[in-house]
Amino acid sequence: MKKTRNGMRITGLLLTMVMLVALLGAFSLTASAAAAEDISVTIDTGASITLKDTDGDGAYEIGNADELYAFAAAVNGGNTAINGELTANIVVNQNVLKDDGTLNGDGSNFRVWTPIGIGLGFMGIFDGNGHTISGLYLNDDTRDGICLFREINFGTVRGVGVIDSYIRGRELVGGIAGSNWGNVEYCYNVGTVVGTRIVAGVVGLGYVGLPLAVEKAKAGFKTIGFDVQAEKVNMVNEGHNYIGDVVD
């Protein structure tokens, strides 16, 4: 992309934001050393689930699908800065995808996922500890931000893989996050993501995602962007930005 003074300012601002977020993340790890208090929420099945921090590290342990749904309910209910950690591989649904990556059936027998971070976004730390979440299913082409996390707002998500999942929405659709204003580290998606605009395997390539992807590529990381609109793909490949108020 062309290097302009405005472009250099935006790049510098972006790098400053990334550094600030990294510092905030480090501070959160130190500040959250105290044990988290139990939180009880009602999940989609009507069951009451209590999230616990049994090891006292400031993060709620998530070891099954109900606890994952409870964590989402707690965050979406206003506890936006809580921390969570996976203690096992999580299976929400089984055999969501066929071998060719298409949906297995009409989806009526699958448990529907509600993304984490609806409203103010996710501001805490979510550590997958290298585990996977399989069988996420959300199929609604009238909704935006359909992902594992709706929005990461100065939070950190790391070390988790989303597999055998079908995520279909309208805009800001991704495997891990639809909108990222924080850190996404060592995450991956091996599933099907479908949308009409700003669709990505891991993080949506929107106002923040696209410039961040460019900076990651400049830093030497292998970065791959996806979009369903050929015009946008061509613009990026030609060095132009398709986001109106961000310079090339």
Beta bridge partners of 127: 85, 158
Q: Count of H helices and E strands in the chain?
A: 4, 14
d(CA 85, CA 61): 5
Lowest mean per-residue pLDDT among 159-163, 220-224, 234-238, 239-243: 220-224
Q: What percent of the chain has pLDDT over 70?
A: 62
**174-215 pLDDT, tens digit each:** 678 777 778 888 888 887 776 655 444 445 455 445 655 665
d(CA 28, CA 204): 25
DSSP category for residue 231: H
Residues with Cβ within 8 Å of 222's Cβ and at least 6 positions away in sequence, in order, are none
Extract long-range pairs of 139-142: CB within 8 Å, 24+ residues apart: 139/103, 139/107, 139/112, 139/166, 139/168, 140/168, 140/169, 141/168, 141/169, 141/170, 141/194, 141/195, 141/196, 142/170
**31-81 pLDDT, tens digit each:** 445 899 999 999 999 999 999 999 999 999 999 999 999 999 999 999 999
Beta bridge partners of 59: 83
CA angle 22, 118, 32 (to 5 degrees): 40
Average pLDDT over residues 4-28: 38
Any idea which residue has 């009526």 for tokens?
Answer: 108
Q: Is the pLDDT of residue 246 over 80?
A: no
**22-42 pLDDT, tens digit each:** 434 444 444 445 899 999 999
Average pLDDT over residues 124-133: 96
Average pLDDT over residues 152-164: 90
Average pLDDT over residues 126-149: 85
Average pLDDT over residues 3-16: 38
Average pLDDT over residues 162-183: 77
Judge residue 237's burial from the number of C-beta atoms within 10 Å of its C-beta, 0-12 exposed, 13-18 middle, 19 or more buried.
Answer: exposed
Residues with Cβ within 8 Å of 195's Cβ and at least 6 positions away in sequence, in order, are 141, 146, 168, 169, 170, 171, 172, 173, 228
Which has more pLDDT, 118 or 227? 118
DSSP category for residue 111: P
Average pLDDT over residues 156-173: 82
144 pLDDT tier (thresholds 50, 70, 90): low
What's the confidence (pLDDT) of residue 221? 52
What's the confidence (pLDDT) of residue 57? 95
Contact call for residues 137 and 96 (beta carbons, < 8 A):
yes
Both tokens of residue 50? 């209590």
What's the confidence (pLDDT) of residue 26? 43
What's the confidence (pLDDT) of residue 23? 38
CA angle 64, 76, 176 (to 5 degrees): 60
